[in-house]
Amino acid sequence: MRKVALLGTVFAVLGLAVAAGAQTATGQISGTVKDVTGSVVPGTTVTIRSELTGSERTTTTDERGDYVFALLQPSTYSVTAELQGFRTAREAGIRLLVDNRIRVDLTLALGEMTETIEVQAGAVALESESARIGQTLTEKQITELPLDGRNFLSLLFLNAGAVETSGEQGGMRSGVGNAISIQGARATSNNFMIDGTANIDTALGTPAAILSVDAMEEFTQQNKTYSAEYGFSANQINLISKSGTNQFHGTAFLFGRNEALDARNFFDPPDQAKPELDQKQFGGTFSGPIIRNKTFLLFNYEGTRIDRGNSGFAIVPTAEMLEGRFPETITDPRTGQPFANNTIPGDRWSRMARLAVDQGWFPAPNTDAPQGNYQFVTTLPQEQNQFNVRVDQDLSRFGRAFFRYTKTTFDNETGGDIWQGGRRVFEQDTTNWQVSHTWPIESNIVNVFRLGRVDARADQHGIPCPQDQ
């Protein structure tokens, strides 16, 4: 008996640990079944069915006529109520969003069960079961609203109180957005999740894996009065990945841009070509059933390639300086006396100076502009790849499970002017995967097991100077 008690305690502790490390990526539909007189109808069989995947769950109303379907995956549902001696009542087209708790009340009329009264849900389902303050963006909004760079972070600015701030995030992710402050909180006070598990680079306070908008079902942003299951930060941003359905879908895209239609910078030389801009974003998504009503697949890839030119001014040594001659007086630090003819003898040059001259590190001056004697044009590359795959499996009475694997790589260069030695290189490699199982054990007992891992690596380094042989 002691061993049984001990094992029970261990599993209870493990269950608490999982609950503390993950948040809800689901929603809830509840309601009351009544007859036409307004009296509650206990013992009614209520069935909820996903109109996208065909998965079903069944429960029975209690003595107050109430029913609850908790921990539902975001989808479009229909709810059906059946009881002997009454016509079947059904409400269809119920759109359940992530973290939503909505009510669907049904009314039974006298008649045969073979007769059905069906109601189509309204365009907007009111959420009356939660006091949270925030916003939820649906798939239609995510895919159809204009997004510079196809980055979902831009959608956060649709919420009042969200502003862009400066910080290390902007340097590490140059070209994909800077730090974001929401409701006056620090930029590092945003907790990013995918499907309810962590997706945050704690060193930078940014989302680790960048999920393509084509692989997102929706996301919710909560700022205040969210439930106790959330923690860690002031704001909660929970992305829900898209799953396959009973219909095959495929998309492909290619966006391109170059300098042809860009205006010339005011300081660019008129006799030189405009700084290069070669920007491409491409990818696609495929989804559908492997086994209809049972197994579903979604695959997504998105790539970005940008070569962005930049012009500016720098000060480089003149031909006389490269021979050791300077226009101003140069004093010998050993003797305190000026060098003859303001020329530094070759045997007094440092190894770095000799290397720079011998290998031609510095170009010749090409302008007499007050900003500098050399005008340069340099091109900085940026590359991003995002890969995502998700497999869902309906297990009948044992519930539903899915596996998702997301990988993102991001590389870019910043800074630099006349040569690569002054540039900074940022390299990021992030993997996020999750296994989830939802099991309705009884009509009023639902177990959720969720295991996920995020590996976020962000490196910063420079480009080494050329070495002599």
Q: Are 279 and 259 in contact (CB under 8 A)?
A: no
This prediction's pTM: 0.78
Residues with Cβ within 8 Å of residue 194, at least 6 apart in sequence:
209, 211, 238, 239, 240, 241, 404, 406, 432, 434, 452
Q: What DSSP state is assigned to residue 157? A: G
- pLDDT exceeding 70 applies to what percent of the chain? 86
Residue 46 has pLDDT above 90, yes or no: yes
pLDDT at 20: 36
Q: What is the mean pLDDT of the chain?
A: 82
Contacts 24+ apart (CB under 8 A), 3-10: none
Mean pLDDT of 255-276: 81
pLDDT digits (tens, 9 = 90+) for 286-309: 999 999 999 999 999 999 999 988
Per-residue b/e over 394-413, b at no fewer than 16 CB within 10 Å?
A: beeeebbbbebebbbbbebb
Rounded Cα–Cα distance for residues 246 and 439 (Å): 21
Mean pLDDT of 136-149: 82
Question: Highest mean pLDDT range out of 82-86, 138-142, 281-285, 338-342?
Answer: 281-285
Q: Are 290 and 297 in contact (CB under 8 A)?
A: yes
pLDDT at 6: 35
Among 31-40, 353-362, 435-444, where is mean pLDDT lowest? 353-362
Residue 18 has pLDDT above 60, yes or no: no
Which is more confidently placed, 228 or 352?
A: 352
Residue 119 has pLDDT above 90, yes or no: no
- pLDDT exceeding 90 applies to what percent of the chain? 33
Rounded Cα–Cα distance for residues 121 and 434 (Å): 33
pLDDT digits (tens, 9 = 90+) for 309-352: 888 888 888 888 888 888 888 888 888 889 888 898 888 888 88
Mean pLDDT of 233-239: 86
Rounded Cα–Cα distance for residues 296 and 286 (Å): 11
Residue 140 has pLDDT above 50, yes or no: yes
3-state secondary structure of 19: helix
In 3D space, the residue among 317, 298, 148 whose CA is nearest the CA of residue 214 turns out to be 298
Residue 449 pLDDT grade (very low, low, confident, very high; cuts 50, 70, 90)? very high
Rounded Cα–Cα distance for residues 213 and 418 (Å): 38
Residue 125 pLDDT grade (very low, low, confident, very high; cuts 50, 70, 90)? low
Chain position carrying tokens 């759109």: 95
Tokens of 66: 């109430």
Among 154-168, 178-192, 234-248, 395-409, where is mean pLDDT lowest? 154-168
